[in-house]
Structure 1
Amino acid sequence: MALWAQLGQAAQDAALKWREPAVRAVSRLIPADVLWFVDTKGPVFALTFDDGPSPDTTPGLLEVLARHRAKATFFLVGERVQAHPELVAAITAGGHEIANHLMRDERSAFVPADQFRRDLARVTELLTPYGPVTWFRPGSGVFTPRMLRTAADQHLRAVLGTLVAGNQGGPGDARIAADLTVGVRPGSIVVLHEGSRKRNGVIATTDELLGTLAGRGLSAVTVKELAALDCGS
């Protein structure tokens, strides 16, 4: 039984190891101006968080990031920005980047075109007093050409990622960091989710992830910092 368990875990690790390069390969075939990863040999990756800010998760994440001397990009939801402006200020005070994740935690592809345009502009307006806004990430990571054109008109570029995970408050959360570290490599963009009490396990996930990757010589940076290292830029 132990042997079969070891073989099963080895197969799972192999699949996780190839997940990231598979996403890179597929993204190259999609004719759209979306940042999925960066071609770089520098020992860095971009760490990003969706769906904040929230008093249940954001302060803990900022403490962990400070302790590891890591930087991140927070893709923030407009309604939560309005509810917790002090947390947005804390994010930027910590040297982190803020980005647009639309007005509500919903699937952006289902939002009517006029509303999407208004919501995108409104969230940028809410965030700009705290710092420059360059990036947006559609809700649920699904985009359309129309959405990308609207974003470009507002001088925003879409950012997705090569490795995505979400804490849900269940036993599976304990393996998130280990599963991610198998695939992270220079230029990866990692997507984690915060924004609610159910997701407060993201704090421990981030702590474990950063500690393990530091042991491999990899540091977390903002999307802006990673994009500046793109060999094609």
Structure 2
Amino acid sequence: MRRPARLVRLAVPALTAGLLLTAAPPAQAGQPTAEVVTTTRHDDRSVALTFDDGPNPPDTHRLLEVLREHHVKATFCLWGDHVREHPEVARAIARDGHTLCNHTMHHDDMAGWTPEQIRADLEATSAVIREAVPGAHIPFFRAPYGSWGQTPEVAAELGMQPLGWALAVGDWEPPGTDELVRRVVDGVTPGAVVLMHDGGGDRSQTVDAVDRLVPLLREQGWRFDRPAKTA
């Protein structure tokens, strides 16, 4: 079950803490670092859509249809337990060419976990994803609730770039499709990674919002991109 109150409380300070990790020595070009990425690959009017807590039929299937219709590629941060329950949906995500992200096995708050505990969870989650999608490339990791703790360093060691966000629209409430559309249109900034959800509850409002947002943002000169591997 999601814990919305905790997400609201932890997301901003945890993300700020993640951004401070830029003081770490830089890795080789193209290698993951412990920096929490919140931007797209380009600084222009581009935006990256990311979806947490799936796979979750039927909302994920319908979201995939919407993204396919609008020719948009997104990033799906997969909850290991849900992948195990719905491997066919994980395969559908990969088959459509979307980027996969490790979102832990049980969606626990890892702020106080040891590196050994974190590593065991992340490895188990990636193994479940690859059981559903053989040979899956998993370039990103996102901490539940934005509660990073020591997860960025461990994720980078496992070959995954920590993925944060620049805009969280609060669709876990849920506030209604019109309000979700307004929050994205009013809050999006150049190069922003946007956090939404396709799992963790009824996400039909989110899917409806995405269907309206994509053409609306394109009319305003925005284009859809992938998250950056490093900022």
Shorter-chain-normalised TM-score: which range? Answer: 0.7 to 0.9
Does the CA contact (< 8 Å) of 1:169 and 1:199 recur in 2?
no
Q: Which amino acid aligns with 1:213?
A: L
Q: Quote the residue 1:137 is aligned against.
A: 142
Which entry has the higher C-alpha Rg, 1 or 2? 1
Does the CA contact (< 8 Å) of 1:57 and 1:194 recur in 2?
yes
Does the CA contact (< 8 Å) of 2:46 and 2:222 recur in 1?
yes
User: How far does residue 208 in structure 1 lie from its aligned partner after superposition?
Assistant: 1.8
Does the CA contact (< 8 Å) of 2:37 and 2:162 recur in 1?
yes
User: How far does residue 124 in structure 1 lie from its aligned partner after superposition?
Assistant: 1.4
Does the CA contact (< 8 Å) of 2:40 and 2:226 recur in 1?
no
Query: Are residues 169 and 147 of structure 1, via their aligned partners in 2, closer, same or farther at CA, if it must alter by over 3 Å?
Result: closer
Query: Are residues 150 and 170 of structure 1, via their aligned partners in 2, closer, same or farther at CA, if it must alter by over 3 Å?
Result: closer
User: How far does residue 137 in structure 1 lie from its aligned partner after superposition?
Assistant: 0.2
Does the CA contact (< 8 Å) of 1:88 and 1:130 recur in 2?
no
CA–CA distance in structure 2, aligned partners of residues 114 and 28 of structure 1: 19
Q: Quote the residue 1:30 is aligned against.
A: 20
Q: Quote the residue 1:164 is aligned against.
A: 168
Between 106-115 and 50-59, report the one with greater CA deviation. Answer: 106-115
Q: Quote the residue 2:197 is aligned against.
A: 193
Between 168-177 and 127-136, report the one with greater CA deviation. Answer: 168-177
Q: Deviations over 1:111-166 (max 9, x none)?
A: 5543322110111122232521111000001212x222211221111110100123
Between 210-219 and 64-73, report the one with greater CA deviation. Answer: 210-219
CA–CA distance in structure 1, aligned partners of residues 118 and 43 of structure 2: 36
> TM-score normalised to the size of structure 1?
0.77
User: How far does residue 38 in structure 1 lie from its aligned partner after superposition?
Assistant: 4.1
CA–CA distance in structure 2, aligned partners of residues 197 and 56 of structure 1: 11
Query: Are residues 167 and 55 of structure 1, via their aligned partners in 2, closer, same or farther at CA, if it must alter by over 3 Å?
Result: same
Q: Secondary structure of the residue that 1:202 maps to in structure 2?
A: helix
Q: Does 1:68 align with 2:70?
A: yes
Between 134-143 and 117-126, report the one with greater CA deviation. Answer: 117-126
Identity of aligned residues (%): 31
Q: Quote the residue 1:209 is aligned against.
A: 213
Between 161-170 and 212-221, report the one with greater CA deviation. Answer: 161-170
5+ residue gaps, structure 1, are 1-21
Q: Quote the residue 2:5 is aligned against.
A: none
CA–CA distance in structure 1, aligned partners of residues 207 and 148 of structure 2: 28
User: How far does residue 60 in structure 1 lie from its aligned partner after superposition?
Assistant: 0.9
Q: Does 1:122 align with 2:124?
A: yes
CA–CA distance in structure 2, aligned partners of residues 67 and 178 of structure 1: 22
Does the CA contact (< 8 Å) of 2:142 and 2:162 recur in 1?
yes
CA–CA distance in structure 1, aligned partners of residues 90 and 172 of structure 2: 23
5+ residue gaps, structure 2, are 1-11, 23-34
User: How far does residue 66 in structure 1 lie from its aligned partner after superposition?
Assistant: 0.8
CA–CA distance in structure 2, aligned partners of residues 50 and 186 of structure 1: 21
Q: Which amino acid aligns with 1:30?
A: L
Please give the root-mean-square deviation of Cα atoms over the aligned residues, in Å: 2.6
> TM-score normalised to the size of structure 2?
0.78
Q: Quote the residue 1:87 is aligned against.
A: 89
User: How far does residue 169 in structure 1 lie from its aligned partner after superposition?
Assistant: 6.0
Q: Quote the residue 1:106 is aligned against.
A: 108
Q: Does 1:45 align with 2:35?
A: no
CA–CA distance in structure 1, aligned partners of residues 68 and 225 of structure 2: 12
Number of positions where the alignment pairs a residue of Structure 1 with one of Structure 2 = 203
> Which of residues 175, 187, 207 is equivalent to 2:179?
175
Structure with the higher fraction of residues in helix conformation: 1
